[in-house]
Structure 1
Amino acid sequence: MAQSNISPFINESSNLTTNESVVNTNTGTTMGALILSLVFLLGFPGNIFIIWSVLARAKKYSVTTLLILNLAIADGSLMALTPFFIIYLVLKKWVFGEAMCKILFYLCLVNMYASIQMIMLMSVYRLVAVLWPRRVTLITSRKTVLWVLAVLWVLVMVASVPAMIFRKVKPEGNTRVCESVHVKDSHVVLQYMLEIVLGFLIPYLVIVVSYICILRRIRQTKFRRRIRSEKLILAIVVTFCLFWLPYNIINMVQVTWALYPKGQVKDILNLIWHKSRAVTSSIAFISSCANPVLYFFAGKSYIRREGLAFMARLFEGTGLDSATRKSRQNSQNSREKDKDADAVMLKDKDPDSVTNSNSNTKPVKNGN
């Protein structure tokens, strides 16, 4: 059964029609519009403030700072799109035309992919910094990181093309809606399996493996202060997972619906994803406004002495990552090894390393 020509039917147990648009569910659209409104009011100015803090207040750009900047750009761009979706849910019809239907949902998917990929890169970088601190500067030069970020943005733009291909404005009763229109069930599977695999399964497999290794290494060290920065990144990871999990579950339901043979189970699956799509999509947007809140609580100790620059100092403090702290652990075993580690770190232009290797008091200040 193709999504473009769903035949009307009635679920005998609930007497609910399932040929309606995802924006024709009163409860779902009302909740979705409310969630998106709150998300926009909190998330848009929050991410703009993060971008301004990094660009205007950060003294130098560490790897962590660059990743957080790109994450804020992706999240802020996603927040900028929310007014269009709020209007769509409130009016329950698409009023922006065919081109905007394709462009807005394409940009939405691009920034969703970019957000999770940035978080994945953060986790991989922390893993390298923890396990191989002496080698981290060789593979995380600013030029290398910028190239990686450029390639990542290109890849997510390419991966989001199906959203532009399948999204169309179509008549639905007396109104018009912007939905994915699939001629074949295989198109449904292609679009949503791509989102599940590239936007959830692969990134979170990498993230989970990275943090298992990171936390195991942290437990082996006596330097408990290093856990602070790891907790911040871990909180970002968990937050993203919690808010995007319902959306990906509904994707799985829709894929199962497309693959399932005709029958009552297929009808029930169709009902589930129709009724849940608007709400789960709105919940997914919450992750993009949650990061500024996490940064605020993590950096509140900087506010009194740094003022509006507290966010930039937080990112620089977070940038005092495991590479430099690992060198302190090694110094307990051998002074000569400690000197070698410091020599390597001093060559790195990353402020994470320079500040920590020059003084024993600076890491404590920035990591406070």
Structure 2
Amino acid sequence: MSEYDYVLDFNETGCRENCTLVTVPPGLSEIGHRHWIVLTCYIIVFLMGVPGNGLVVWVTAFRMPRSVNALWFLNLAIADLLCCLSLPLIMVPLAQDKHWPFGLVACKLVHGLLYMLMYCSVLLLVLISVDRWLLVSRPTWCQNWRSPRYAIWVCFVVWMLALVISIPQFSEMVEKRFGSKIICEGTYDTMLEAWSITVFRFLVGFLVPFVVICISHWMVFQRASQSPGKRQNPRAARTLRVILAVVLSFFLCWLPLHIMDFLQVVGQNNKVIKHDMLLVRMLALCLAYFNSCLNPLLYVCLGRGFRESLTKSLRSVLHFASEEPPQGLSMTGNTKSTTDSSYFVTGNRVH
């Protein structure tokens, strides 16, 4: 199901096994002005998300010591950055009254990419939460196996798994012609297929990860509460605060879109979905995209170590751009010292 407006197309004998989700025909022009509201939201997300996530990728990849935590958040920022970079291909059809000019391949890639990145983000959040639980419950195992080298392979598996489970979202997208317009839409052959994909998307992309994350953090809390004599490390507390904020923002931003997907399938007895529901779903999609530009703000506001690394990195770039380096001075030594003094959210290296 794409972000475009859907109605249920019924035949003369009623909906049996050949129900198809199709786009509202261009004749329904009453919601045209609402597209500009959504388009404005997309522009804001793009202008905030691309530089914000670009900075996170730059800091975590090039300006900080390589650690497991840094790799988790680096991949999360890459997923958010790709999501923001795909927005222009969504904004152009909205500006042209939903006319899709980019062809069938781009239709499948762009709209399938949204859910692929959703799955990737939520799997990374599950990974971060389980990783914190292992740190407090299996310290010996973590000492032997928790290393950046293995973390790279785990991130690769996460991306491949996200690609595999998002295949239905890629395959459902088709192009349909309404007069002179070509519209990119999601189509299901049967209502059973529509229900199956919607339920699968909700379980894998929301409910199951949410339960796993809650259980992981509850077990971490229980472990900490069972050691009253030990004072909690303030750096670990900052890390937990950032992780919880990222997790909470993800689920709050994506829950409305999952709800609207269910409402669209449940409303199968209506030939035309009400305009208010169409507007709500478009706004819910805007909220889902907004999550992609929210994480960098959380890192800067809540993560003191990341904020210090970013400040030092920007300061060194401005210094490099404004002054000529002395002849014979090695740049690698300065870079190394800056990198070694930069820390991720926790404020220390985590291997």
TM over 0.5: yes
Name the SS for the 1:352 alignment partner.
coil
Change (3 A) 1:319 1:250: farther
- For residue 36 of structure 1, what is the amino acid of its counterpart? Y
Unpaired runs of at least 5, structure 1: 9-17, 321-350, 354-368
Q: Please give the alpha-carbon distance, in whole angstroms, between the structure 1 residues aligned to 2:285 and 2:159.
A: 22
Deviation at 1:139, TM superposition (A): 3.5
Q: Please tell me whether residue 318 in structure 1 is matched to residue 318 in structure 2.
A: no
What residue in structure 2 maps to residue 72 of structure 1? 77
Q: How does 1:266-345 map to 2 (within 5 A)?
A: 266=270, 273-299=277-303, 302=308, 306-308=312-314, 316-318=344-346, 320=348
Name the SS for the 2:248 alignment partner.
helix
Change (3 A) 1:319 1:142: farther
Deviation at 1:28, TM superposition (A): 4.1
Deviation readout 1:141-175 (Å, 9 max, x if unpaired): 33332222222111111111112211011124653
What residue in structure 2 maps to residue 229 of structure 1? 239
Match of 1:34 among 28, 37, 40: 40
What residue in structure 1 maps to residue 266 of structure 2? 256
Contact 1:254 1:270 in 2 (8 A): no
What residue in structure 1 maps to residue 335 of structure 2? none
Deviation at 1:78, TM superposition (A): 0.5
Change (3 A) 1:272 1:217: farther
What residue in structure 1 maps to residue 320 of structure 2? none
Q: Percent identity at matched positions?
A: 27
What residue in structure 2 maps to residue 83 of structure 1? 88
Q: Please give the alpha-carbon distance, in whole angstroms, between the structure 2 residues aligned to 1:248 and 1:286.
A: 15
Match of 1:124 among 111, 120, 130: 130
In the comparison of the two structures, how many residue pairs are matched?
Answer: 306
Q: Please give the alpha-carbon distance, in whole angstroms, between the structure 1 residues aligned to 2:200 and 2:59.
A: 34
Change (3 A) 1:248 1:28: farther
What residue in structure 1 maps to residue 67 of structure 2? 62
Contact 2:172 2:188 in 1 (8 A): yes
Contact 1:253 1:269 in 2 (8 A): no
Deviation at 1:195, TM superposition (A): 1.5
How high is the TM-score relative to the length of structure 1? Answer: 0.74
Change (3 A) 1:197 1:314: farther
- Higher share of residues assigned helix: 1
What residue in structure 2 maps to residue 245 of structure 1? 255
- For residue 218 of structure 2, what is the amino acid of its counterpart? I
Q: Please give the alpha-carbon distance, in whole angstroms, between the structure 1 residues aligned to 2:343 and 2:72.
A: 10
Q: Please give the alpha-carbon distance, in whole angstroms, between the structure 1 residues aligned to 2:164 and 2:23.
A: 31
Q: Please give the alpha-carbon distance, in whole angstroms, between the structure 1 residues aligned to 2:90 and 2:83.
A: 11
More displaced stretch, 120-129 vs 49-58: 49-58
Name the SS for the 1:135 alignment partner.
helix
What residue in structure 1 maps to residue 326 of structure 2? none
Q: Please give the alpha-carbon distance, in whole angstroms, between the structure 2 residues aligned to 1:216 and 1:28.
A: 48
Contact 1:65 1:315 in 2 (8 A): no
Deviation at 1:77, TM superposition (A): 0.5
Name the SS for the 1:240 alignment partner.
helix
Contact 1:106 1:161 in 2 (8 A): yes
Deviation at 1:79, TM superposition (A): 0.6
Q: How does 1:164-203 map to 2 (within 5 A)?
A: 164-172=170-178, 175-203=181-209
Deviation at 1:276, TM superposition (A): 2.9
Deviation at 1:87, TM superposition (A): 1.4
Q: Please tell me whether residue 113 in structure 1 is matched to residue 123 in structure 2.
A: no
What residue in structure 2 maps to residue 11 of structure 1? none
Deviation at 1:40, TM superposition (A): 0.4
Q: Please give the alpha-carbon distance, in whole angstroms, between the structure 2 residues aligned to 1:94 and 1:184.
A: 25
Deviation at 1:188, TM superposition (A): 1.3
How high is the TM-score relative to the length of structure 2? Answer: 0.77
Contact 1:4 1:182 in 2 (8 A): no
Contact 1:21 1:177 in 2 (8 A): no
What residue in structure 1 maps to residue 329 of structure 2? none
Q: Please give the alpha-carbon distance, in whole angstroms, between the structure 2 residues aligned to 1:120 and 1:135.
A: 19
Root-mean-square deviation (CA, aligned residues, Å) is 3.0
Deviation at 1:183, TM superposition (A): 2.1
What residue in structure 2 maps to residue 148 of structure 1? 154
Q: Please give the alpha-carbon distance, in whole angstroms, between the structure 1 residues aligned to 2:310 and 2:8.
A: 57
What residue in structure 2 maps to residue 103 of structure 1? 109
What residue in structure 2 maps to residue 356 of structure 1? none
Unpaired runs of at least 5, structure 2: 1-5, 13-21, 317-337
Match of 2:56 among 50, 58, 70: 50
